Structure 1
Amino acid sequence: MTQPKTQPGSLTRRRFLTTAAGVALATAAAFHPGRALAMDPIKTAGIYTVPVEQQWVSRIHKAALTAQERGDIDYTYSENVSNTDYARVMREYAESGYTLIIGEMFAVEAEAREVAAEYPEIAFLMGSSFKPDDALPNMAVFDNYIQDASYLSGIVAGAMTETGSIGMVGGFPIPEVNRLMHAFMAGVKETRPDASFQVSFIGSWFDPPKAKETAFAMIEGGADMLYAERFGVSDAAQEKGVLAIGNVIDTQSDYPETVVASAIWHFEPTLDKAIEEVKAGNFKAADYGVYSFMKEGGASLAPLGTFDGKVPQEALDLVEQRKAEIMSGDFVTEIDDSEPKSM
């Protein structure tokens, strides 16, 4: 399928789901995921509003490529799909015989659910802040719950900051970002109780220059450690000689003297579960967010790499202790979706 040539889109604000009256009626016919049993590999499409190089989407894309390499899916994708085009692209893939459609419907909740209702025989696995709807049995939702790894990265950051002033640059103050920032801040407090935070959101998912300028301002304000939720932040840290903590992907190879640690999202457990359910004919409305938890293999703290031996051992011991407690269930990282504030 030819990928739509659309202008880069961004999720300008989170819409609350408005349920159209026709959605429930359209899904009255039962979803028959068993129809996918004959499709091996599963014909899968990804629909993304940003480039596949963007942190969050890159993890979905990577997992899909891995599944394709082992023969589980036949994968294609469209990137830079604008919010106004999203429903149209969904329909194009649905009409082209794709059995599994994955993507991120954060800014197009109502429209995406309406499209899914029109194609009850197709499995939709979509990033969303909302819960699954039993009236829409062919749509499952997911989210990146990597707060465990973010918390551990905060422990490292707190041990490495000299001034105790930390700058945090995010895209939008939405649950997916907020919970990671809060977890990071809680981790920092473990090793630097007197830490202060400068928090700012740039209003875009992919605007490295703006993120960089925001980070510069934080450095001018005294920050010697930056939380790089967006691309561009680590560039500012590198130029000014301060440290940074990565998010979702490991960028230390690009910033070997700057990025101390990163909280990594592994989408493979989420996608693999969906593939398993489609193959078994059991795909249904469900919340796949749990497969991003560290206990499920959905998150990890990246290796220290060039910072091995530079992080205080006391902090590393605490990281290992908390990690073991997280895996055993003895420690639960708080999930706080409220907007973080400078403090």
Structure 2
Amino acid sequence: MSVRSVLSRRQVMTAVAALAAASTLPAQAQAKIKVAAIYTVPFEQQWVSRIHKALKAAEARGEIEYKASENVANADCERVMREYIAAGNQLIVGEVFGVEAAARKVAKDFPKISFLMGSSGKPQAPNFSVFDNFIQEPAYLSGLVAGGMTKSHKIGMVGGFPIPEVNRLMNAFMAGAKEVNPKVEFSVSFINSWFDPPKAKEATFAMIDQGADVLYAERFGVSDAAKEKGKLAIGNVINTQDKYPDTVVASALWHMEPSIDRALKLVKDGKFSAEDYGPYSMMKYKGSELAPLGTFEKKVPAEVVAKVKAREADILAGKFTVKVDDSQPKSSAK
């Protein structure tokens, strides 16, 4: 065999390999799911930050093309949704608590587009799935910690709106605190906003003035007030202890990754359908957890830490169930 024929064969094989590689490029490009998210609050807001984080992780892995809009007014949500669909997005994610009717109408108009929306409502066939932060389990565990840390037996709680998503976490927290400390009294306040740190701060100061020494920070602004007054705070949805190392004792964390990853797989496989993703926020699916005590590890009483660990193990083993109570929590402080 001549050198020339060997070279020509090599050249042919190289050319074939190059063509094969080139032919896979469009398939690889198509494999990236186009995802758009519409948020009515800033990316930094606790709840939305968890959805955004999970989608950014999928983007970093190269699985999706991700576009997102923050601070979208309720009146503009439907328009933005339709624009994203027109741009070829296959999965629309967001929260629709204030725009349920409009979002569901868009979903009906585009039955082949997948929707995964934070909602108090039910799934809508064939393509509108709902999710929620069912993190009542770590909220209850954080309540155990709070009950063991209060010296005044007064706990202040500041929430956004008294809707099921907020109420169930507050009620679970209160149940945990009461279990450890039956003497505890609660002051409950709602600021009627999802993002108004100054208003939350003001409400917290009022509770501290009434004797609260532990504050439940369902909203941003509460931990700032607690820090200023030398009181303690319990975080919600995200862990802010790095910013408040002497203030935030514990936090109930929400992880949106199990829900997002499930939705992406179903879209990719062509099997997305209307379902309730709520359970994927629970501890057994790694959708939530109690944050490490960190700077407060040696400050929380040992018997309380032991109780938290025992309850955590029982929850994961299915031996203990934290009640889902969506009713509006009431103040018990006199």
Q: Report Cα offsets for 1:13-67 as digits up to 9, x if no partner.
A: xxxxxxxxxxxxxxxxxxxxxxx99832110011000000000000000000011
CA contact (8 A) 1:103 1:127 kept: yes
Determine if the alignment matches structure 1 residue 275 to structure 2 residue 268.
no
- Alpha-carbon distance, 1:102 to partner: 0.3
The one of 48, 57, 60 equivalent to 2:48 is 57
The corresponding residue for 2:292 is 303
Residue 264 of structure 1 aligns with an amino acid whose one-letter code is L
Residue equivalent to 2:79: 88
Residue 72 (structure 1) shift: 1.5
* Among 46, 49, 64, the residue aligned to 1:73: 64
1:239 counterpart SS class: helix
The match for 1:241 is 230
Which amino acid in structure 1 is aligned with residue 311 of structure 2? R
Superposition TM-score, scaled by structure 2 size: 0.90
Instruction: Percent identity, please.
Output: 65
Q: Which residue of 1 aligns with 2:121?
A: 130
* SS of residue matched to 1:39: helix
Q: For 1:40 and 1:53, how far apart are their aligned partners in 2? A: 30
Q: Is the 8 A contact 1:265 1:298 kept in 2?
A: yes
Partner of 2:180: 191
The residue that corresponds to 1:284 in the other structure is: 273
Q: CA RMSD in A?
A: 1.2
CA distance in 2 between partners of 1:249 and 1:107 (Å) = 23
Q: Which amino acid is the alignment partner of residue 72 of structure 2? A: V
Tell me which stretches of 4 or more aligned residues in structure 1 moved more than 2 Å. Answer: 36-39
Alpha-carbon displacement from aligned partner over 1:247-267 (angstroms, at most 9, x marks no partner): 000000110000000000000
Which digits, 9 at most, give the CA deviation of each residue in 1:78-106, with x for residues without a partner? 00000000001100001100001100001
What is the distance in 1 between the residues matched to 2:30 and 2:121? Answer: 30
Structure 2: tracts of 5 or more residues without a match: 1-26
Asked whether the 8 Å contact 1:37–1:279 carries over to 2, the reply is no
In the alignment, residue 219 of structure 1 is paired with which amino acid?
Answer: I
Deviation of the 1:131 alpha carbon: 1.0
Task: Indicate if the aligned counterparts of 1:140 and 1:287 stay in contact, CA closer than 8 A.
Answer: yes
Between the aligned partners of 2:267 and 2:178, the Cα distance in structure 1 is 43
Partner of 2:189: 200
| Distance in 2 between residues matched to 1:156 and 1:39, nearest whole Å | 49
Contact 1:47/1:102, CA 8 A, preserved across alignment: yes
| Residue 230 (1) aligns with residue 243 (2) | no
Pair 1:113–1:37, CA change in 2 (3 A): farther
Asked if 1:159 is matched to 2:148, the reply is yes
1:121 maps to which residue? 112
- Cα distance in 1 between the residues matched to 2:160 and 2:51: 18
Alpha-carbon distance, 1:238 to partner: 0.2
**How many residue pairs end up in the alignment?**
306
Unaligned segments of structure 1, at least 5 residues: 1-35
TM-score normalized by the length of structure 1: 0.88
Question: Looking at CA atoms only, which structure, 1 or 2, has the larger radius of gyration?
Answer: 2
Which residue does the alignment assign to 1:316?
305
